[in-house]
Each structure stands twice: as C-alpha cells, then as structure tokens.
C-alpha cells in the first residue's frame, strides 16, 4: 500500500498517490473541512500543485473546477483561486461552537445571490457620477435624499410598477428597516399608535415597529391574502404583490377593500420586479396615492449592503416622515444614491433585473421539479422564495436536521404572530446561493426533506 504523501511546498495535503482525481478531490475537501486550507486563502495554482504532486496539470484543473462547482473553492477570471468563505471554518473548538458556524449551503429567504451584483456596471456608473456631478453634491444632503435619484425613481416606478409619484413625495431611506422605523415614529406623533402586520410576516419589521412606539397586532392571511375584514387598526403593513412568507397575491376584491378601509396602508413591494409567470401585478399605491405609502428597495435587485430604499408618501405624511428621518440621523450615502440614479437612467439597471429574473426563474423551476411529488409547494411563481409546508413534528426537527447537512433555511412557524394558528413549513430562499453553489444547496435540501418526510 502506498504511503500518504504530503506536499513540501505549499499544499499541506495528505494525499495517497495513485488515487487519481477522485482521491485528490477528497483530500482537498478534507483539508478545507479540517481547517488546513482556511477560508479566503489563495490555493496553489494548477501548475504549481501538479508539479508538486507529480500529476498532470489537467487532473488538478478538473479537480479545482469540480470543487468550485460544489462551493468549496471560488474562481474568477484573472484572479487566483481561493477557498470559499462560506461554511469552510475549521472544525475545532467545542461542539456548540461548531454548530453555530456558518452553514456551508444557504437557502435562507430574503437574500439575493451576492455574486450577481453588477460590479462592472456599478463601477462605470460611479466613474460617470464622480466625473460629472457638481461639487455641491458632495456637501451635506437634505433628509429627502438626492434629487436626481428621486426624479429618476419617479419615472422608473411609474413605468415598472405603476406607481403614481412625483419627486416631492419620494423620500430616500436606508432600506425598509429604516423606512418602517421612521414611519412608526411619524405615525405615532400623528396619534396612530397601532400597526397591523400580516400574520405571518417578517419578525424584524414587527420588532422595529414596536421599538418605534407602535403596538403591533396580527391580521390573518389566507389564499387571497390579507383578510381585510379582520383589520381594525389605523395602519396596516402589507406585501400585496407577493406576500411574505406565504407567497400569495392580494386578491382584487381585497385590494379594493383595503384602500377603502380608512387605514394608512404601508405597501412593502420588496420583490415586485421578479414575477415569472408574466401576470404582473401593479402597485396597490396607484389605487389610492393619498392613503398608501409605497416602499421599495434595491436590496433584492442589487444588494442589501447598499442600504438603499425609498418611500412614495401621501402628501400629508411627507413633512412628518422628513422630521422623523432628521431625528433618526440615518441616511444612505449621497454618492450611492447618485450612482443608482445613473444606473437606472442608463438602462443598465433594467438589463440587470432582466438577467436576474431569468436566473431566479430557472432556480425556482429547478427546485419545484426536484421536490418529491408528495410535498406541496405554496406561493406564486415569483420572487426569491417559496414555502414547503411540513407537519409540526417534521418542522420541529428541521433546525437540527438542516444543521447536520450544513444547510441554512428558515422554519415557517417562527414568523407567526398568533401562535395558536401557526402552521409548519420551510421557507426556501432559492436566490441566496451563488450559481455554482445552488446545486449543492438543492441537494442538501432534498436530503433534509427526505429525512423529515421520507
């Protein structure tokens, strides 16, 4: 039997000669899992490793390509190959620390593919802005946000989402978290101290509304969306185009009933650009511009790291919201606002959204096709997530089972307000993985569901 062979140059492997590409791939996987090849570290070039191990360079090239497809390595043209940063932490320390590490695979909802960010287009737009923007743009800005972005958004939102807006009613904010915070404070100051959320809905936004002085209540959601007949609060936060997390669309009769309810409606249009079945649903705001606050962000289309969002406000709320923004002391950088305005005006933003829409539709369809027939899929063909209902006992075992497969997912039951009415399931965010890693994440999900449901 051959003795294990270790590289004396820079590979630090325990590889048995004669095991071929399969053995070499297994050895590198082990080196990454054990922490000998650390996350983000540049790995030896194919030429150097082939010379060091005494194998053909093509063998190492194939192994690197396979490991990149599996998510162990990251490659980029003109840049060195590196160990992937997600899920590659060394398995050292106590068991509790190992379990808390970042999962190798992620299908967490509400996250776009971070590798899809249009770096070249953003860089080109940044250069144009820096070259041509007047010096005054680099001074302190007003609380409403940069005028060029508000003007550009007024045109874009009217064209793409049917929003009725003018720049004087648009306020730029640091994402929807910032928006719900300043809205909560502004409405509280106007005497509106109760805010209704869909049940289920995103927990963080409910917590932020509570911190802003609002009393949060839940309104049930069924297959037609929010049950408007159960709404008795002065303010309602809704996701009518693609309810989060259940994925249904607010029915036409309920859209009409909602805007006639007398409540101030906060419309969170978080992924309205990603409808795959060509049955576009326009913004609710167009039905009642003086009653509906339209909120959108660049978090799903570009990146949540930009912290760029916007609200189209009823005229009566413009000044109270501007005062709340001033008091919050938080605003997105003006330069990023100007770059986004340029990206939209040049058409690059639309082209990027179309590319992402095709990719996410492909992932959605691939996921639905791969799921076992006995598992129901809930939600329209849109956005970055879908829901797979699970029995209570299966969902209770979901976190531990997913952890064993190093998969990050979100249990549905955590998002309910009324715990007595909650239903179990898993929210699958198929947008969160990079393209090369999506296959591995999908395989991990199928393994988890097989364990849970058979």
Residues 365 and 420 grouped into a single domain: yes
User: Any idea what the CATH number is for the domain that residue 154 is in?
Assistant: 3.40.640.10
Assess whether pLDDT exceeds 60 at residue 5: no
Torsion of CA 381, 276, 162, 154, to 10 degrees: 110
Residue 318 covered by a domain: yes
Report d(CA 87, CA 29) in Å as an integer.
12
Give the pLDDT of residue 24: 86
Give the pLDDT of residue 86: 54
pLDDT in tens, 283-334: 999 999 999 999 999 999 999 999 999 999 999 999 999 999 999 888 899 9
Assess whether pLDDT exceeds 90 at residue 152: yes
Instruction: For residue 404, give both structure tokens.
Output: 């064993």
C-alpha atoms less than 13 angstroms from C-alpha of 362 in its C-beta half-sphere: 9
Residue 189 covered by a domain: yes
Residues 165 and 294 grouped into a single domain: yes
Residues 145 and 239 grouped into a single domain: yes
Task: Identify the residue with better confidence: 68 or 128.
Answer: 128
Instruction: For residue 65, give both structure tokens.
Output: 């390509």
Task: Identify the residue with better confidence: 170 or 420.
Answer: 170
Residues 84 and 131 grouped into a single domain: no
Phi-psi region of 18 (alpha: psi -120 to 50; beta: other; left: phi over 0): left
Residue 46 covered by a domain: yes
Closest among 239, 322, 340 to 281, alpha carbons compared: 239
Q: Does residue 245 have a cis bond before it (omega within 30 degrees)?
A: yes
Q: How many domains does the chain have?
A: 3
Residues 334 and 354 grouped into a single domain: no
Residues 215 and 327 grouped into a single domain: yes
Which residues, 6 or more positions from 387, have their beta carbon under 8 angstroms from its beta carbon? 245, 246, 247, 377, 378, 379, 412, 425, 426, 427, 428
Assess whether pLDDT exceeds 60 at residue 94: no
Task: For Cα atoms 191, 194, 199, give the angle at the middle one, nearest 5 degrees.
Answer: 160
Share of the chain above pLDDT 90, in %: 71
Residue-number span of the structural domain to which 140 is assigned: 119-346
Number of C-beta neighbours around residue 100 at 10 A: 11
Residues of 149-165 as b/e, b for ≥16 C-beta within 10 angstroms? bbebbbebbbebbbbbb
Assess whether pLDDT exceeds 90 at residue 57: no
Assess whether pLDDT exceeds 90 at residue 25: no
Assess whether pLDDT exceeds 50 at residue 1: no
Residue 8 covered by a domain: no
Residue 397 covered by a domain: yes
Residues 112 and 123 grouped into a single domain: no
Q: From 59, 93, 127, give the residue that closes a domain.
A: 93
Residue 5 covered by a domain: no
Closest among 402, 394, 403 to 96, alpha carbons compared: 403
Residues 130 and 275 grouped into a single domain: yes
Distance of CA 178 to the CA centre of its chain: 17
Instruction: Tell me, letter by letter, the H, E, C secondary structure of 365-430.
Output: HHHHHHCCCCCCCECCCECCEEEEECCHHHHHCHHHHHHHCCEECEEHHHHCCCHHHCCCEEEEEC
DSSP string for 157-214:
HHHHH-----GGGEEEESHHHHHHHHHHHHHHHTT--EEEEEES--HHHHHHHHHTTP
What residues form DSSP beta bridges with 293?
266
Residues 360 and 342 grouped into a single domain: no
Assess whether pLDDT exceeds 80 at residue 18: no
Q: From 287, 317, 346, give the residue that closes a domain.
A: 346
User: Any idea what the CATH number is for the domain that residue 436 is in?
Assistant: 3.90.1150.10
Question: Alpha carbon of 167 to those of 65, 153, 318: distances in Å?
Answer: 49, 8, 11
Give the pLDDT of residue 102: 80
Give the pLDDT of residue 220: 97
Question: Alpha carbon of 403 to those of 10, 105, 113: distances in Å?
Answer: 32, 10, 21
Residues 188 and 329 grouped into a single domain: yes
Give the pLDDT of residue 56: 87
Give the pLDDT of residue 101: 64
Assess whether pLDDT exceeds 70 at residue 92: no
Residue 330 covered by a domain: yes
Residue 362 covered by a domain: yes
Report d(CA 203, CA 409) in Å as an integer.
15
pTM of the model: 0.78
Share of the chain above pLDDT 70, in %: 93
Assess whether pLDDT exceeds 80 at residue 13: no
Residues 30 and 163 grouped into a single domain: no
Residues 222 and 287 grouped into a single domain: yes
Q: What share of the chain is helix, strand, coil (3-state, %, to 5)?
A: 45, 15, 40
Give the pLDDT of residue 144: 96
Instruction: For residue 442, give both structure tokens.
Output: 């999908």
């Amino acid at each position: 039997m051959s003795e294990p062979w270790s590289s004396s140059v820079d590979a630090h492997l325990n590889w048995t000669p004669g095991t071929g590409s399969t053995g070499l791939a297994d050895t590198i996987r082990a080196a990454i899992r054990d922490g000998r090849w650390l996350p983000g570290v540049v790995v030896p070039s194919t030429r150097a490793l082939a010379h060091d191990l005494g194998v053909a360079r093509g063998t190492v090239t194939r192994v690197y390509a396979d490991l990149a497809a599996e998510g162990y390595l990251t490659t980029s043209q003109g840049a060195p190959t590196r160990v992937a940063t997600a899920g590659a932490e060394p398995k050292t320390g106590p068991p509790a620390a190992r379990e808390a590490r970042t999962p190798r695979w992620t299908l967490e909802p509400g996250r776009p593919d971070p590798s899809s960010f249009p770096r070249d287009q953003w860089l080109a737009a940044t250069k144009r802005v820096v070259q041509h923007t007047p010096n005054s743009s680099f001074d302190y800005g007003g609380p409403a946000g940069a005028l060029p972005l508000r003007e550009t958004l007024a045109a874009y939102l009217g064209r793409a989402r049917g929003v009725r807006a003018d720049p004087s009613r648009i306020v730029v904010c640091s994402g929807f978290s910032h928006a719900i915070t300043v809205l909560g404070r502004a409405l509280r100051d106007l005497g509106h101290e109760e805010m209704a959320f869909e049940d289920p809905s995103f927990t963080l936004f409910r917590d932020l509304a509570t911190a802003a002085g609002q009393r949060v209540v839940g309104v049930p959601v069924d297959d037609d969306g929010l049950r408007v007949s159960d709404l008795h609060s002065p303010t309602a936060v809704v996701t009518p185009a693609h309810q989060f997390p259940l994925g249904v669309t607010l029915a036409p009769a309920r859209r009409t009933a909602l805007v006639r309810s007398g409540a101030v409606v906060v419309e969170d249009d978080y992924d309205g650009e990603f409808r795959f079945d060509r049955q576009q649903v326009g913004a609710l705001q167009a039905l009642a511009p003086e009653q509906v606050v339209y909120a959108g962000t660049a978090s799903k289309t570009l990146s949540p790291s930009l912290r760029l969002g916007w609200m189209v406000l009823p005229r009566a709320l413009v000044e109270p919201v501007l005062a709340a923004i001033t008091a919050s002391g938080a605003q997105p950088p003006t330069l990023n606002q100007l770059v986004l305005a340029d990206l939209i005006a040049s058409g690059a933003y639309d082209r990027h959204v179309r590319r992402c829409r095709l990719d996410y539709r492909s992932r959605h369809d691939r996921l639905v096709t791969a799921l076992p027939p006995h598992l129901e899929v809930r939600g329209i063909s849109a956005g970055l997530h879908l829901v797979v209902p699970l029995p209570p006992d299966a969902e209770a075992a979901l976190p531990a089972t997913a952890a064993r497969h190093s998969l990050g997912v979100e249990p549905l039951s955590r998002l309910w307000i009324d715990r007595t009415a909650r239903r179990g399931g898993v929210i699958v965010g198929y947008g969160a993985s990079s393209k090369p890693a999506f296959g591995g994440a999908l395989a991990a999900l199928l393994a988890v569901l097989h364990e849970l449901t058979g």
